[in-house]
Copies of this chain bind each other. A is one copy, B any other.
Amino acid sequence: MFRTISQNFSVAFSYQTYFTQGLFDLNNPLFYQAFSQFPFHSPRKLFFVLDEGLMEHHPNLREKIKNYLANYPQEFKLTAEPMLILGGEQVKNQSALIDKVLEAIEQAGICRHSYLIAIGGGAVLDMVGYAAAIAHRGVRHIRIPTTVLAQNDSGVGVKNGVNYRGKKNFLGSFKPPIAVINDFDFLKTLDARDWRSGIAEAIKVALIKDAAFFQQIKADSELLNGRDESAMQNLIYRCAKMHLEHIALGDPFELGSSRPLDFGHWAAHKLEYLTDFELRHGEAVAIGMALDVSYSYLVGSLSESEWEEILELIQNLGFAIYHPALEAKKNRDYAILLGLEEFREHLGGQLTIMLLEKIGKGIEVNTMNPALILQSIQMLKQKSEQSAN
């Protein structure tokens, strides 16, 4: 009754994540060398989009970039002035800003073999990466993350996205960058919240995969609180490496339902919206982890001592483990509980939530008990008040 043609093929993806300092210092060859492996069409056309937030502490960044490129006139051509764009989660909420980037790509004559380079925090990278993924069905994209969170987590991965109709990352794609360049020097000028915020993702990956890393973070917590650069660099490198391994060895484009790296994230995503993004992503993840760790304890999966140990580290690093938005109501329901269904819808298929069996080992479940979630919130509230006293 019918004929069939079967189509099967594989596509290989490959990119380098570099760690450096002083990326645009004239004597640092990395930026130039990073291009050597890409097919050459002389000169390479570059277009930069920069997080506006960088201008406060790096007012000369555009000039530094231009001076650097001027050293390689045969290799690089800047197709337009570097563009500044709003930083922070708001950049993912405004479709007019995506249009502005797309328009600039079109005006600059950026093609599939040109380079769209984004420098900034995770939100700017997510949004510019999305524009890079859809313009001309994908232009070459290089990410230069400037925050702890972007350097150890979102910026090194394969996802991009923007928010739409009040849903986080409703629009986006899986599209690997062609390179990621982490410049540790950007960390020096982060404010205290951004310095701390990204540590949450390192705790996350340690909790579900690597007990030794958890102990390392614990051992380094005083150094991290004291803004020790070397401790932070090691944390970022190790976290980024685990993140990249997880992608390569797992399900890079997330065709299944499981998403272990989203430990603590179902509540975190909802909290970001409920606080109108007053909470940074990492701060929300810290609370989301505290919640799922407490839930893991309540259902008998995690021991009391490890539950205590984890919450203690989260708090010692300066994170809150409770926020009043956890108890916000929508109509007569707890708004946070709606986050579960939204998370399921975004993942698709069956709800799959990562809980903890012990430090360094996650376990997936397919349901969560609302009453126990609310009880977990009360436990966190209490613990939080105790610490405040």
Contact = CB atoms under 8 A, between A and B. Distances in A.
A106 B137 contact: no
A369 interface: no
Contact of A167 (B106, B134, B173, B174): B106
Interface in A202-257: 237, 240-241, 244, 247-249, 252-254, 256-257
A1 B19 CA distance: 9
Interface in A358-373: none
A18 B3 contact: yes
A176 B241 CA distance: 29
Nearest to A134: B171
A347 interface: yes
Binding site secondary structure of chain A: mixed
Contacts of A159: 137
Contacts of A171: 102, 134-135
A389 interface: no
A300 interface: no
A133 interface: yes
Interface stretch (A9-17, A263-271, A278-286, A315-323): A9-17
A164 B106 contact: yes
Contact of A30 (B1, B5, B248): B1
A242 to B, nearest CB: 10
Contacts of A237: 3, 5
Contacts of A345: 109, 111, 136
Nearest to A25: B1
Interface string A26-45: 00111000000001010000
Interface residues of A, number: 73
Point out which of A29, A136, A237 has the most chain B C-beta atoms below 10 A from its C-beta.
A136
Nearest to A41: B349
Q: How many copies does the complex hold?
A: 2
Given A7-B14, A30-B2, A165-B106, A136 B248 contact: no
19 contacts: A5-B156, A6-B14, A7-B17, A7-B244, A9-B13, A11-B11, A11-B13, A106-B164, A106-B165, A106-B167, A111-B348, A111-B349, A112-B254, A112-B348, A112-B349, A136-B170, A137-B159, A137-B254, A173-B173
A238 B112 CA distance: 31
Contacts of A175: 173
A351 to B, nearest CB: 10
Contacts of A136: 170, 345-346, 348
Contact of A344 (B9, B111, B248, B346): B111
A197 interface: no
A138 interface: yes
A257 B41 CA distance: 11
Contacts of A164: 102, 106
Interface string A150-174: 0000001001010011010111111
Nearest to A173: B137
A241 B5 CA distance: 7
A131 to B, nearest CB: 9
B137 A172 contact: yes
Point out which of A2, A16, A114, A347 has the most chain B C-beta atoms below 10 A from its C-beta.
A2
B15 A7 contact: yes
A19 B4 contact: yes
B19 A14 contact: no
A161 B174 contact: no
Nearest to A28: B1
